[in-house]
Chains A and B, each alone.
Chain A
């Protein structure tokens, strides 16, 4: 008979030590209440286990079933999900870490749990809710977004993940004038890359969703009404020139059909670095005048998605100063990074602050690195070394990660 341990239950009566191996011992039996998430619920005595029990890990790998008792613990993203759910969304350093450790572990933290609870309880017949993750640099906004995206995809939502909106407003080698709208510009490379990743994430939806409108691309090419969405996406990937317009068409179709009564699906729009959509770009037209973001087809269409005039899904966004243009490096509050225009477009939204690691979360991270043998330096295993790490990193997740990479 299988039974799952919930380490969180006895986290209440244990203290953290600096050794990685912790054995549990309980004086009285604890009844594990039955839950609907598939944990085999038995009221039994949790006896002393001689094997090492990692207190920073949880066996609960389904984001839907995670709750406050799992706060601060790492759960493993099943390898099968990795490539489908996150072809392009994870921060680059985290991707390297996954390759090194051979597993993808994400810490369960308060902002993500809060978001997931909102998503569970929201009413999807009302206009879309917008959630904005904000916080200082390196505090874990992108990781919280990815956690939420994982939840959405395990629940069978259609996920529209834009890994970094700043990539669309800078460093674009090719800017084509749009065929659809005279004053706008297309970005074929970015659009086709995004479509490819979109296709990987949402394979199973592509054949189910049917187009509601006929789209004419050139004199000879058109996509008829009733064709599956997959055909449209394939066309966008292969015909790079019209890929930006294909992106616009895909977004429009999804907006119309999300939350619909027949074959309705829920749509999650996850945008990282959403402050890049308002503000300035570094792109220039041929006469060297700057391009405004609304003159880019991709940005124009994405802004329409972020409006709350559709229903049946949610918009989850993060602010990012790291890739942003013309924003001071100390800026992290929503209004500073979004600007007036951006704030007015996102209003009303629910801001979700992401803070630095708490004591418990820092412990967890430290133990995880020890467990993975990432901290090689002997001094880092001591109490002194831990205090040094706390001091140097100020409990900032990304700074801690970079520091530990040296050890």
Chain B
């Protein structure tokens, strides 16, 4: 195995350089340590790996030593918005709180924040302190104008702005950040406003919808909203089966006659029902009866 130093953990013990073999060292700053298996720090014992310059498996030489966590140097009156200006994942070296999270294993406590993936996974609102929000508002103010003084009552607002769009945001604890009910947006229109204009709009839309564009003729079977039995594989199958069963001539007349039969109609209804409504026991039974009747079982 490639060797590597574990100077980071050693440094946090108060800058004592020593070679330790997995034993607990005296801890002047009363910080918990990990009992980790360390190994000798000599580059001459690079077993088996020819020198790859500075690109070795664990690039020991040019690796920068990690410094103290920022929490050591944080005064109480610091500017928190400088530490967390935007939404960022939890950084245990930047948050001076002794937070613990996770499931306590037997006779234990929730694990601490150092190296804690649970804290990193969840969303945090450390960037949204009241001070930060105040700063946001101050920054936005130059771009805003005053609220029109004439619109001081709700009735006046409705009169001038009859169309209202309402969207809702939710805050909840759950497995996902997103709440599906937040996707619903309400659009409200009050009718008393301009009836003529509304009618005009609807008429225009109605006539527009009848116009066929050139690209609409490229509609494929997959685009259809509803299943139509005519010209579907189902119709072709059943027609060819019936024609072969009949043994009497071929031709359009035979097909027409077959299509007109009540069993075929029933079959067509059951297939359409299956495809449009989806499957259920009852629609399957209907299909079954139709097929049995059709194929004379």
Residues of A within 8 A of B164 (CB): none
B196 within 8 A of A: no
Query: How many residues on the A side are at the interface (Cβ–Cβ under 8 A)?
Result: 22
B84 within 8 A of A: no
Residues of B within 8 A of A91 (CB): none
In the assembled complex, the CB of A134 is this many whole angstroms from the nearest CB of chain B, namely 8
Question: In whole angstroms, how far apart are the Cα atoms of A118 and B279 in the complex?
Answer: 24
Residues of B within 8 A of A121 (CB): 297
Residues of A within 8 A of B237 (CB): 308, 344, 347-348
- CB pair B234 A347 closer than 8 Å: yes
Q: Which of B2-10, B123-131, B286-294 lies on the face that meets chain A?
A: B286-294
Q: Which of A230-238, A349-357, A359-367 lies on the face that meets chain B?
A: A349-357
In the assembled complex, the CB of B178 is this many whole angstroms from the nearest CB of chain A, namely 22
Question: In whole angstroms, how far apart are the Cα atoms of A1 and B224 in the complex?
Answer: 71
B267 within 8 A of A: yes
Q: Which of A153-161, A219-227, A329-337, A396-404 lies on the face that meets chain B?
A: A329-337
Report which residue of B233, B245, B288, B297 has the largest number of chain A beta carbons within 10 angstroms of its beta carbon.
Answer: B297
- CB pair A122 B287 closer than 8 Å: no
- CB pair B271 A127 closer than 8 Å: no
Over the window 228-261 of chain B, the binary record of Cβ atoms lying under 8 Å from chain A Cβ atoms (1 yes, 0 no) is 0000111001100100110000000000000000
- CB pair A348 B279 closer than 8 Å: no
Question: In whole angstroms, how far apart are the Cα atoms of A322 and B284 in the complex?
Answer: 21
Contact check: which of B284, B295, B297 meets A353 at CB < 8 Å? Answer: B284
Question: In whole angstroms, how far apart are the Cα atoms of A351 and B287 in the complex?
Answer: 8
Question: In whole angstroms, how far apart are the Cα atoms of A127 and B294 in the complex?
Answer: 13
A277 within 8 A of B: no
Contact check: which of A308, A345, A348, A350 meets B267 at CB < 8 Å? Answer: A348
Contact check: which of A126, A335, A353 meets B245 at CB < 8 Å? Answer: A126
Q: Which residue of B lies closest to A341 (CB)?
A: B233
Contact check: which of A122, A333, A335, A351 meets B297 at CB < 8 Å? Answer: A122
- CB pair A348 B294 closer than 8 Å: yes
- CB pair B279 A334 closer than 8 Å: yes
A129 within 8 A of B: yes
Contact check: which of B244, B245, B284, B294 meets A351 at CB < 8 Å? Answer: B284
- CB pair B291 A350 closer than 8 Å: yes
Contact check: which of B238, B278, B280, B295 meets A129 at CB < 8 Å? Answer: B295
Q: Which residue of A lies closest to B290 (CB)?
A: A348
In the assembled complex, the CB of B262 is this many whole angstroms from the nearest CB of chain A, namely 16
Report which residue of A127, A334, A336 has the largest number of chain B beta carbons within 10 angstroms of its beta carbon.
Answer: A127
Question: In whole angstroms, how far apart are the Cα atoms of A121 and B296 in the complex?
Answer: 10
Question: In whole angstroms, how far apart are the Cα atoms of A129 and B238 in the complex?
Answer: 12
In the assembled complex, the CB of B118 is this many whole angstroms from the nearest CB of chain A, namely 30
B132 within 8 A of A: no
Question: In whole angstroms, how far apart are the Cα atoms of A181 and B64 in the complex?
Answer: 60
Q: Tell me whether A118 and B297 are in contact in the complex, defined as CB-CB below 8 angstroms, given that A127-B244, A347-B271 are known contacts.
A: yes
Question: In whole angstroms, how far apart are the Cα atoms of A348 and B245 in the complex?
Answer: 13
Q: Tell me whether A350 and B288 are in contact in the complex, defined as CB-CB below 8 angstroms, given that A126-B244, A333-B279, A334-B279 are known contacts.
A: yes
Residues of B within 8 A of A122 (CB): 297
Question: In whole angstroms, how far apart are the Cα atoms of A334 and B275 in the complex?
Answer: 11
The 5 closest A-B pairs by CB, nearest first: A344-B233, A333-B279, A126-B245, A335-B279, A347-B234
| Extra inter-chain contacts (4) besides given A347-B237, A348-B294, CB under 8 Å | A335-B275, A347-B238, A350-B292, A351-B288
27 A-B Cβ contacts within 8 A? A122-B297, A123-B296, A134-B284, A308-B237, A333-B279, A333-B284, A334-B279, A334-B284, A335-B274, A335-B278, A335-B279, A336-B279, A344-B232, A344-B237, A347-B233, A347-B234, A348-B234, A348-B241, A348-B267, A349-B291, A350-B288, A350-B292, A350-B295, A350-B297, A351-B284, A351-B288, A352-B288
